[in-house]
Structure 1
Amino acid sequence: MWLDNASDIDILFYEPYARIIADIAKNKEYNPLTIGVFGLWGAGKSTLLKLIDKKLENQEGIICVTINAWMFESYDDAKTAIMEALLQELKEEVPAEVKKKFGKLIKRVNWFKLGTKAVSTLAPVVASVATGNPLPMLLNVTGSAEEIGNTVKNAADSIQSLKDEYWKDEDDSTDESTINNIRKFREEFSDALKNDNIENIVVMVDDLDRCRPERIIEILEVIKLFLAVDRTTFIIAADENVIKYSIREKYPPMNGFDVELDKEYIEKIIQLPIYIPELSAKDIQNYLLLLVAQSYLEQESFSRLIAKIFEEKMIVSGDVITLEEINNLIDELNLSWRDGDKSAFNETAKIIDEIREIVASTLKGNPRQAKRFLNTFITKRQLAKIYYGDEIDISILAKLLVLQKLDNDLFIQLNEWSKEFDTENKKFKQIRTEFQEGNMDSQNPWNTAQMKKWIECKPVDLEKYRLEKYFYLTRENLKSSSIDESGFSKNTKEILERIGRSKAGQMAAIIKDMKELNAEEVADTFKIIIPKIEKGEMKFFIIRDLFLNFDTYKGKIVEAIGKSTVTIKAGDMAALRTMYNSDTGSMNTVLEIMVKKGTLTDEQITEIKEQRKS
Structure 2
Amino acid sequence: MLGHATLRKVQGDEVVWSDNETDRDLLNFQGVADTVAEFILQANGAPISVGVSGAWGVGKSTMIQLTRAALEEKRHADDPTEFVFVEFNAWLYQGYDDARAALLDVIAAKLEAIAEERKSGTDKVKEFMRRVRWLRLAKLVALPAAAVALGIPPVGLGGEIAEVVRDVRDGAADGEQIESVGSALAAAGAGLLKPGLEMSPPKEIQALRDSFEETLEAIGVTLVVLIDDLDRCLPETAISTLEAIRLLLFLQNTAFVIAADDEMIKRAVKKHFGGLDDDELVTNYFDKLIQVPIKVPALGIQEVRAYMMMLFIDDSTELDIASKNTLRTAIAAGLRGSWKGVRVDGAFVSQVDDQLPAALVTRLETAERLAPLMTGATHIVGNPRLIKRFLNALSIRMSIARAQGVDVDEAVLAKLLLFERVVEAPVFVELATKVNEDPDGRPTFLGPWEAAVAAGAELELPKGWDTAFARDWLGLEPELAGIDLRGALYVGREQAPLVTGSDKLSAAAVELLTALTEYPREAPRMKDDLAALPSVEQGFILDRLLAIARPIQSWGSPPILDACLTMASIDPAWGQKLARFLVERPQTQISASVVPKIAGQEWSSSVFGVWKQAEGIKAPVKNAIAERSGSGNLAK
Structure 2 length normalisation: TM-score? 0.64
The amino acid of 2:386's aligned partner reads: Q
Question: What residue number does 1:322 align with?
Answer: 345
Instruction: Note the C-alpha offset of 1:86.
Output: 1.5
Q: 1:215 aligns with which of 227, 233, 237?
A: 237
Q: What does 1:382-531 correspond to in 2, within 5 Å?
A: 382-388=399-405, 391-407=407-423, 408-422=425-439, 425-432=443-450, 438=457, 440-441=459-460, 444-460=463-479, 462-478=480-496
For residues 447 and 210 of structure 2, the distance between their equivalents in structure 1, rounded to whole angstroms, comes to: 75
Measured at CA, do residues 92 and 383 of structure 1 come closer, stay the same or move farther in structure 2, by a change above 3 Å?
same
Q: 1:263 aligns with which of 283, 297, 315?
A: 283
Instruction: Note the C-alpha offset of 1:417.
Output: 0.5
* 3-state secondary structure, aligned to 2:494: helix
The amino acid of 1:404's aligned partner reads: E
**Contact 2:276 2:282 (8 Å CA) reproduced:** no
For residues 330 and 155 of structure 1, the distance between their equivalents in structure 2, rounded to whole angstroms, comes to: 65
The amino acid of 1:409's aligned partner reads: P
CA deviation vs aligned residue, 1:439-472 (integer Å, no higher than 9, x gap): 5446532222221221122222x22222211111
Q: 1:19 aligns with which of 34, 43, 47?
A: 34
Question: What residue number does 2:10 align with?
Answer: none
Instruction: Note the C-alpha offset of 1:194.
Output: 1.7
The amino acid of 1:360's aligned partner reads: T
CA deviation vs aligned residue, 1:99-134 (integer Å, no higher than 9, x gap): 332133222222122222212237899xxxxxxxxx
Question: What residue number does 1:377 align with?
Answer: 394
For residues 319 and 403 of structure 1, the distance between their equivalents in structure 2, rounded to whole angstroms, comes to: 30
The amino acid of 2:315's aligned partner reads: S
For residues 142 and 225 of structure 1, the distance between their equivalents in structure 2, rounded to whole angstroms, comes to: 31
Segments of structure 2 that go 5 or more residues without pairing to the other structure are: 1-15, 76-80, 184-198, 499-516, 524-562, 564-636
For residues 69 and 322 of structure 2, the distance between their equivalents in structure 1, rounded to whole angstroms, comes to: 17
Q: Which has the higher helix share?
A: 1
Instruction: Note the C-alpha offset of 1:35.
Output: 0.8
Measured at CA, do residues 90 and 191 of structure 1 come closer, stay the same or move farther in structure 2, by a change above 3 Å?
same
Measured at CA, do residues 533 and 264 of structure 1 come closer, stay the same or move farther in structure 2, by a change above 3 Å?
farther
The amino acid of 1:377's aligned partner reads: L
Instruction: Note the C-alpha offset of 1:276.
Output: 0.8
Measured at CA, do residues 192 and 429 of structure 1 come closer, stay the same or move farther in structure 2, by a change above 3 Å?
same
Instruction: Note the C-alpha offset of 1:197.
Output: 3.2
Q: 1:359 aligns with which of 374, 379, 388?
A: 374
The amino acid of 1:168's aligned partner reads: G
Structure 1 length normalisation: TM-score? 0.66
Q: What does 1:298-309 correspond to in 2, within 5 Å?
A: 298-309=320-331
For residues 292 and 454 of structure 1, the distance between their equivalents in structure 2, rounded to whole angstroms, comes to: 22
Q: What does 1:22-421 correspond to in 2, within 5 Å?
A: 22-29=37-44, 31-57=46-72, 59=75, 60-94=81-115, 95-121=118-144, 158-159=164-165, 161-162=167-168, 164-168=171-175, 177-195=200-218, 197-198=220-221, 200-252=222-274, 260-296=280-316, 297-312=319-334, 313-318=336-341, 320-331=343-354, 342-362=357-377, 363-388=380-405, 391-407=407-423, 408-421=425-438
Measured at CA, do residues 71 and 357 of structure 1 come closer, stay the same or move farther in structure 2, by a change above 3 Å?
same
Instruction: Note the C-alpha offset of 1:345.
Output: 1.5
**Contact 1:384 1:473 (8 Å CA) reproduced:** yes
**Contact 2:246 2:289 (8 Å CA) reproduced:** yes
Question: What residue number does 1:576 align with?
Answer: none
For residues 107 and 244 of structure 1, the distance between their equivalents in structure 2, rounded to whole angstroms, comes to: 34
Instruction: Note the C-alpha offset of 1:307.
Output: 2.6
* 3-state secondary structure, aligned to 1:368: helix
**Contact 1:21 1:52 (8 Å CA) reproduced:** yes
* 3-state secondary structure, aligned to 2:121: helix
For residues 236 and 51 of structure 1, the distance between their equivalents in structure 2, rounded to whole angstroms, comes to: 14
The amino acid of 1:64's aligned partner reads: F
* 3-state secondary structure, aligned to 1:204: strand
Question: What residue number does 1:594 align with?
Answer: none
For residues 152 and 208 of structure 1, the distance between their equivalents in structure 2, rounded to whole angstroms, comes to: 30
**Contact 2:489 2:497 (8 Å CA) reproduced:** no
**Which region of structure 1 is more displaced relative to structure 2, 429-438 or 184-193?**
429-438
Instruction: Note the C-alpha offset of 1:393.
Output: 2.4
**Contact 2:108 2:125 (8 Å CA) reproduced:** yes
**Contact 1:421 1:466 (8 Å CA) reproduced:** no
For residues 454 and 177 of structure 1, the distance between their equivalents in structure 2, rounded to whole angstroms, comes to: 60
**Contact 2:374 2:382 (8 Å CA) reproduced:** no
CA deviation vs aligned residue, 1:163-209 (integer Å, no higher than 9, x gap): 94332389x999985322211111111111224832x2111111122
**Contact 1:419 1:468 (8 Å CA) reproduced:** yes
For residues 419 and 384 of structure 1, the distance between their equivalents in structure 2, rounded to whole angstroms, comes to: 19
Measured at CA, do residues 30 and 452 of structure 1 come closer, stay the same or move farther in structure 2, by a change above 3 Å?
farther
Question: What residue number does 1:539 align with?
Answer: none
* 3-state secondary structure, aligned to 1:66: strand
Instruction: Note the C-alpha offset of 1:315.
Output: 3.8
Q: How many residues align?
A: 455
CA deviation vs aligned residue, 1:29-79 (integer Å, no higher than 9, x gap): 573221101111111111121111112237442222222221221234221
Segments of structure 1 that go 5 or more residues without pairing to the other structure are: 126-136, 335-340, 481-529, 537-563, 565-614
Measured at CA, do residues 22 and 119 of structure 1 come closer, stay the same or move farther in structure 2, by a change above 3 Å?
same
**Contact 2:45 2:254 (8 Å CA) reproduced:** no
* 3-state secondary structure, aligned to 1:165: coil
* Identity %, equivalent residues: 26
Instruction: Note the C-alpha offset of 1:91.
Output: 2.3
For residues 469 and 98 of structure 1, the distance between their equivalents in structure 2, rounded to whole angstroms, comes to: 67
* 3-state secondary structure, aligned to 1:417: helix
The amino acid of 2:70's aligned partner reads: K
* 3-state secondary structure, aligned to 1:43: coil
* 3-state secondary structure, aligned to 1:277: coil
**Which region of structure 1 is more displaced relative to structure 2, 403-412 or 9-18?**
403-412
Question: What residue number does 2:6 align with?
Answer: none
For residues 474 and 381 of structure 1, the distance between their equivalents in structure 2, rounded to whole angstroms, comes to: 10
**Which region of structure 1 is more displaced relative to structure 2, 276-285 or 303-312?**
303-312
* 3-state secondary structure, aligned to 2:220: coil
Question: What residue number does 1:513 align with?
Answer: none
For residues 444 and 430 of structure 1, the distance between their equivalents in structure 2, rounded to whole angstroms, comes to: 17
The amino acid of 2:446's aligned partner reads: F
**Which region of structure 1 is more displaced relative to structure 2, 8-17 or 433-442?**
433-442
CA deviation vs aligned residue, 1:311-331 (integer Å, no higher than 9, x gap): 454443446422121021124
Q: What does 1:567-578 correspond to in 2, within 5 Å?
A: none
**Which region of structure 1 is more displaced relative to structure 2, 293-302 or 96-105?**
293-302
The amino acid of 2:474's aligned partner reads: I
* 3-state secondary structure, aligned to 1:404: helix
Alignment RMSD (CA, Å): 3.7
For residues 153 and 378 of structure 1, the distance between their equivalents in structure 2, rounded to whole angstroms, comes to: 49
